[in-house]
Amino acid sequence: MGKEAKTHALEEMQKLLKEEAEKRRKQIMRRDVPEDRTLANALMTLTRQELDDIRYNVGVSGTSNLNKGELVEKLIPAIVEFSGKWFVSIVDEQYQALRHVVQHDGISTEFRTDEIRLDYFQSIGVLMSGAYKDKPAWYMPTEIMEEFQRLDSGSFTKAVNWNTDMLRVASGMLFYYGVLDYDQLFAKIKPYLEVAEDTFEFVDFMRVMFNGACWQHNVVTAEKIMYYYTVMAPEELYKSIQETDLPYAKLSYTKIYDAGDENYIEATDAYKTLAQFFMSAYEMDVLRAANVVGEITIIFQNGGKMKDVLKYIETLGAQKANDEEHAMAPLLIAFHNSLRMWSLKGHTPAEVVSGKLDTPEDNVVSFSEHRRKKIGRNDPCPCGSGKKYKNCCLHKDEK
């Protein structure tokens, strides 16, 4: 793509983003924030469809014959009860957003207009949107704020940190394994978090997983399984994996934790070499090359063959010299052999062929040991107590 074409494409993208942002702004501004921000007043600003979404999400039934006022009346106690259970499943990003609203007297105009994840909060009734002083605003109904403030404490923030680590470890596992049923995921998480059986219940784990999947884009929940978002046919993959005699790859906590980042890329040497090839042969910038290698990864992970990858590469539009074609083939093969394949339960093809399934550095490392490496003695303790790590949980981790 020439310089002028790139500039035009960038301008078109910026124009589209600006239009979407304005559309989003108008959507929020179509109703006013009520002067008295009770849950009843907040719910009355919503459409019937929006109320039905909340009704479904908080588990209220038998409302088809109710008018709007009657539906709101029935939703109020259900939302308050639901919020109390839901708050204990939130992760740090959610906690910071909600706490920000509470610290601003229950309303804020400081969120980005394009932060669509806030719609999730509205779909369960804990935050609402509207026009406030001619600005798009998000606010927490009074009853919900009281419930949040009742729970917010050192022990609550410790639970939030725990939920955050749990979700990140689960996301990292799905990055490498592709798909797991909930029993498998629950069992595999325990060794990484060093959790006692009597303090880690399946129902709490499920709440965090379902909440996390509604918030993050990289994991998806289904009735019986949870899978990475780039898995194209999760049920088929799950079935084929269960029929594979290979053991699951043993991966270190650090590797799993890093892979749990929503935008994680496993930049192996083979990955870097292939990306550099596309940058050179196709005159791509770094981001474009990364996207191309990402697409190739998705093709391979979903059972695609080399011919499928080559067919995709043909769509890139750039002309290749014969020597570049020959150079690309071994790079693609090396990249494929270095991938931790879902179909191989997290092993690479090279490991399976060699018979060396688990290298020493892939042994499980405990959560506490990883935490000691990551946190300085004078850093804030991750339990949320507000104390320095050396004056709080360090002595517990050293035991």
Q: Which of 145, 181, 135, 160 is nearest to 29 (CA)?
A: 135
**Per-10-residue mean pLDDT for the chain, 399 residues long?**
63 79 90 97 97 96 93 97 96 97 97 93 97 96 97 93 96 98 95 76 95 96 97 97 94 95 95 94 91 97 96 80 69 96 96 77 49 55 54 57
Rounded CA-CA distance 393/331 in Å is: 47
Say what the pLDDT of residue 399 is: 47
Say what the pLDDT of residue 199 is: 74
Say what the pLDDT of residue 213 is: 97
What predicted TM-score, i.e. pTM, was given to this entire model?
Answer: 0.84
Say what the pLDDT of residue 192 is: 87
Say what the pLDDT of residue 72 is: 97
User: pLDDT digit string (tens) for 310-321?
Assistant: 999 999 886 555
Helix (H) or strand (E) holding 228: strand 225-228
User: pLDDT digit string (tens) for 242-290?
Assistant: 999 999 999 999 999 999 999 999 999 999 999 999 998 888 899 999 9
Say what the pLDDT of residue 249 is: 95
* Alpha-carbon separation of residue 224 from 181, 184, 206, 235 (angstroms): 6, 11, 11, 9
Say what the pLDDT of residue 359 is: 56
For residues 362 and 251, is the Cβ–Cβ distance under 8 A?
A: yes
- DSSP assignment of 34-64 equals PSS--HHHHHHTS-HHHHHHHHHHHT----T
Rounded CA-CA distance 273/335 in Å is: 9
Residue 341, φ and ψ in degrees, nearest 5: -85, 140
Which residues have a Cβ under 8 Å from the Cβ of 204 and sit 6 or more positions away?
A: 88, 89
- Beta pairing, strands 128-132 & 225-228: unpaired
Say what the pLDDT of residue 389 is: 58
Q: How far apart are the first and last CA of the chain?
A: 59
Helix (H) or strand (E) holding 220: strand 219-221
User: pLDDT digit string (tens) for 229-243?
Assistant: 999 999 999 999 999
Rounded CA-CA distance 185/226 in Å is: 8
